[in-house]
């Protein structure tokens, strides 16, 4: 069992020993790309949505150094035609880029260190191959293929960690020795050498990259335009593997005696491709383990990234954010974003990057974005408070008193509070627009989301109720 080459299936065994939700059908999608023009895949999604789990599953399935049949025999993939064809048939190289970006000693020579460590293991794994002393990683792998015919499947987990850590837009920098690549530039050249060189299709049967942000578009040139990409915006065949579906969560709730409606209010709301209802998988499992719903996903990151982007306030962005906090939706053109978090230049770019990060959900049919769940809404509230948006901060702070006045039947106090909320958020209002009024009411009652599930425009038998508050189960 190696560090990078043929790591075995232990990591996936541990996943199966947990409350595993079967996503193995996606293996059939990847199998269909083996040794084809579509053999390179980049599947990106937001944090804690199962990226590494999927990578470890593929590692266990393809790795020829182990026998994983018993691990998969009761999973969905075992019933599909391609199961036997590719099971444990390839040498797998598995690289988690965060193993390097999180260690200070690698800074400044990350790519050289990655190549050096994998090359050393290639030479140890295939000792009977003759290597050129000056060969880079691709050169060593080509020597293995040319001399003994061994081929590889390359899995890179968190491929974009270097892009996020070293976001310099320029790929080259000036130095006393002349023009040389930046850390980011070296990384792009490294990936291009692996997956776009003339020998790539011989050495590799395929590659699978995970990350948060899709492949960066470098002006009119895409350094890695031979990858098929599945993302939060365009998941294609991967849509069913992004998060948990309603049926999967219902099954978990029945098994663990949890309330489905409560989990749905907290963690449902993502519409990914043709999947209309996708739950945050990490938060669902945390809630089941703790027997309590809370903001588990938010606790794994910080709202400062949201605050950073929305503070730019491109083209009325602030008003649209207030509208979404109130439960509304906003149009977004996702096509202009170049998949570079350091090159955000418009409101559409801001919304698109926040979709990839999971802070917004995306309706591909209507081209609209929205805040998906109570869990994520809490992050937005924190971000707005940190930016000190006076238009809405006062309303949020007054929300608890408004709820108490409503429950006490103090109509005069309720009327004054609603009027104040109207005045504080007047920028998003269109008079005689019921949707805008409903938005302001949703913001005014934002504190109520702690104890109530709030439905807008709920059918009542005769028409629709503007807002309905259903008590949460405690």
Please spell the DSSP secondary structure of 203-221, one letter per residue. Answer: HEEEEEEEESS----BTTB
Tell me how far apart the alpha carbons of residues 293 and 265 are, in angstroms, rounded to a whole number.
10
Task: Find residue 266's DSSP bridge partners.
Answer: none
Tell me how far apart the alpha carbons of residues 269 and 266 are, in angstroms, rounded to a whole number.
9
DSSP H helical segments within 126-231, as ranges? 137-148, 161-165, 183-195, 200-203
Secondary structure (3-state) at 466: strand
Is the confidence at residue 36, as pLDDT, over 80?
A: yes
Give tens-digit pLDDT for 218-230: 544 456 788 999 9
Name the least confident of 29-43, 85-99, 163-177.
163-177
Q: DSSP code of 299? A: G
Residues 6+ apart with CB under 8 A from 198: none
Tell me how far apart the alpha carbons of residues 49 and 454 are, in angstroms, rounded to a whole number.
26
Across all residues in the chain, what is the average pLDDT? 86
Name the least confident of 257-266, 352-361, 363-372, 464-473.
464-473
Tell me how far apart the alpha carbons of residues 95 and 114 are, in angstroms, rounded to a whole number.
9
Pairing of strands 330-331, 368-370: antiparallel
Higher pLDDT, residue 340 or 209: 209
Q: Three-state SS string across 443-472, please?
A: HHCHHHHHCEEEEEEEECCCCEEEEEEEEC
Per-residue model confidence (pLDDT) at position 419: 79
Higher pLDDT, residue 244 or 164: 244
Per-residue model confidence (pLDDT) at position 303: 60
Per-residue model confidence (pLDDT) at position 181: 62
| Number of Cβ within a 10 Å radius of residue 11 | 16
Is the confidence at residue 202, as pLDDT, over 90?
A: yes
Sign of CA dihedral 252, 253, 254, 258: positive
Pairing of strands 361-363, 40-44: unpaired
**Number of residues written out for the chain:** 474
Of the pLDDT bands very low, low, confident and very high (cuts 50, 70, 90), residue 390 is low
Is the confidence at residue 185, as pLDDT, over 60?
A: yes
Is the confidence at residue 209, as pLDDT, over 90?
A: yes
Tell me how far apart the alpha carbons of residues 306 and 302 are, in angstroms, rounded to a whole number.
8
Is the confidence at residue 279, as pLDDT, over 80?
A: yes
Give tens-digit pLDDT for 259-270: 999 999 899 999
Per-residue model confidence (pLDDT) at position 427: 53
Check: CB of residue 84 under 8 Å from CB of residue 29.
Answer: no
Per-residue model confidence (pLDDT) at position 302: 52
The C-alpha angle with vertex 457 and arms to 428 and 430, in degrees rounded to 5, equals 20
How far, in Å, are 205, 262, 278, 378 from residue 449 at the CA level?
A: 50, 12, 20, 10
Of the pLDDT bands very low, low, confident and very high (cuts 50, 70, 90), residue 179 is very low
Tell me how far apart the alpha carbons of residues 333 and 362 are, in angstroms, rounded to a whole number.
11
Name the least confident of 25-29, 172-176, 251-255.
172-176
197-211 burial, b at 16+ Cβ within 10 Å, e below that, comes to eeebbebbbbbbbbb
Residue 55 burial class via C-beta count within 10 angstroms: exposed 0-12, middle 13-18, buried 19 and up: buried
Tell me how far apart the alpha carbons of residues 56 and 213 are, in angstroms, rounded to a whole number.
19
Per-residue model confidence (pLDDT) at position 24: 96
pLDDT (average), residues 9-30: 95
Of the pLDDT bands very low, low, confident and very high (cuts 50, 70, 90), residue 304 is low
Per-residue model confidence (pLDDT) at position 418: 79
Give tens-digit pLDDT for 287-296: 999 999 988 8
Rounded to the nearest 10°, the torsion over CA 297, 301, 306, 309 is -140
Residues 6+ apart with CB under 8 A from 327: 371, 438, 439, 442, 454, 456
| Number of Cβ within a 10 Å radius of residue 454 | 18
Check: CB of residue 241 under 8 Å from CB of residue 24.
Answer: no
Q: What are phi and psi of 444, to 5 degrees?
A: -60, -35
Per-residue model confidence (pLDDT) at position 402: 83
Secondary structure (3-state) at 178: strand
Tell me how far apart the alpha carbons of residues 425 and 321 are, in angstroms, rounded to a whole number.
11
Residues 6+ apart with CB under 8 A from 92: 5, 6, 7, 59, 62, 63, 64, 152, 153, 154, 155
Higher pLDDT, residue 319 or 87: 87
Give tens-digit pLDDT for 407-466: 888 888 888 887 777 766 555 545 445 566 677 777 777 777 767 777 777 777 777 777
Per-residue model confidence (pLDDT) at position 454: 74
Is the confidence at residue 173, as pLDDT, over 60?
A: no
Check: CB of residue 72 under 8 Å from CB of residue 83.
Answer: yes
Of the pLDDT bands very low, low, confident and very high (cuts 50, 70, 90), residue 215 is confident
Per-residue model confidence (pLDDT) at position 350: 92
Check: CB of residue 232 under 8 Å from CB of residue 269.
Answer: no
Per-residue model confidence (pLDDT) at position 299: 56
Per-residue model confidence (pLDDT) at position 435: 62
Per-residue model confidence (pLDDT) at position 220: 40
Tell me how far apart the alpha carbons of residues 386 and 393 are, in angstroms, rounded to a whole number.
9
Per-residue model confidence (pLDDT) at position 368: 96
Give tens-digit pLDDT for 74-129: 999 999 999 999 999 999 999 999 999 888 777 778 999 999 999 999 999 999 99
Per-residue model confidence (pLDDT) at position 13: 96
């Amino acid at each position: 069992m190696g560090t990078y080459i043929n790591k075995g299936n232990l990591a996936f065994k541990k996943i199966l020993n947990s409350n595993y939700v079967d996503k193995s059908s996606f293996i059939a999608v990847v199998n269909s790309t083996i040794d084809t023009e579509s053999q390179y895949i980049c599947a990106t999604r937001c944090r804690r949505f199962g990226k590494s789990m999927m990578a470890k599953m593929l590692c266990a399935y393809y790795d020829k150094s182990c026998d994983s049949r018993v691990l998969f025999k009761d999973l969905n993939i075992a019933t599909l035609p391609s199961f036997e064809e590719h099971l444990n048939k390839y040498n797998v190289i598995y690289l988690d880029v965060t193993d390097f970006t999180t260690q200070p000693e690698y800074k400044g020579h990350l790519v050289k260190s990655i190549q050096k460590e994998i090359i050393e293991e290639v030479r140890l794994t295939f000792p009977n191959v003759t290597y050129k002393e000056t060969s880079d990683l691709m050169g060593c792998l080509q020597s293995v293929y040319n001399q003994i015919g061994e081929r590889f499947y390359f899995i890179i987990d968190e491929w974009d960690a270097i892009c996020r850590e070293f976001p310099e837009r320029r790929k080259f920098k000036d130095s006393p020795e002349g023009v040389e690549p930046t850390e980011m530039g070296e990384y792009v050249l490294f990936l291009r050498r692996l997956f776009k060189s003339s020998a790539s299709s011989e050495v590799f049967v395929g590659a699978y990259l995970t990350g948060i942000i899709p492949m960066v578009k470098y002006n009119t040139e895409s350094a890695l335009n031979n990858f098929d990409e599945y993302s939060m915006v365009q998941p294609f065949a991967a849509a069913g593997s992004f998060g948990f579906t309603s049926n999967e969560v219902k099954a978990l709730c029945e098994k663990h005696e949890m309330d489905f409606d409560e989990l749905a209010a907290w963690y449902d709301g993502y519409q990914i491709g043709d999947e209309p209802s996708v739950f945050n998988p990490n938060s669902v499992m945390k809630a089941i383990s703790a027997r309590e719903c809370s903001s588990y996903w938010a606790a794994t990151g910080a709202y400062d990234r949201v605050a950073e982007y929305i503070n730019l306030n491109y083209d009325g962005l602030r008003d649209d954010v207030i509208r979404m906090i109130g439960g509304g939706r906003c149009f977004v053109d996702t096509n202009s974003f170049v998949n570079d978090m350091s090159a955000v230049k418009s409101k559409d770019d801001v919304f698109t990057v926040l979709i990839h990060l999971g802070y917004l959900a995306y309706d591909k049919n209507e081209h609209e974005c929205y805040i998906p769940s109570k869990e994520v809404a809490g992050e937005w509230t924190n971000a707005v408070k940190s930016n000190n948006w006076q238009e809405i901060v006062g309303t949020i702070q007054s929300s608890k008193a408004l709820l108490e006045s409503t429950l006490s039947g103090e109509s005069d106090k309720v009327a004054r509070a609603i009027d104040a909320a109207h005045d504080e958020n007047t920028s998003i209002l269109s008079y005689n627009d019921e949707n805008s009024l409903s938005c302001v009411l949703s913001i005014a009652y934002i504190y109520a989301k702690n104890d109530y599930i709030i439905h807008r425009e709920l059918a009542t038998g005769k028409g629709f109720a503007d807002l309905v508050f259903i008590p949460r189960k405690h």
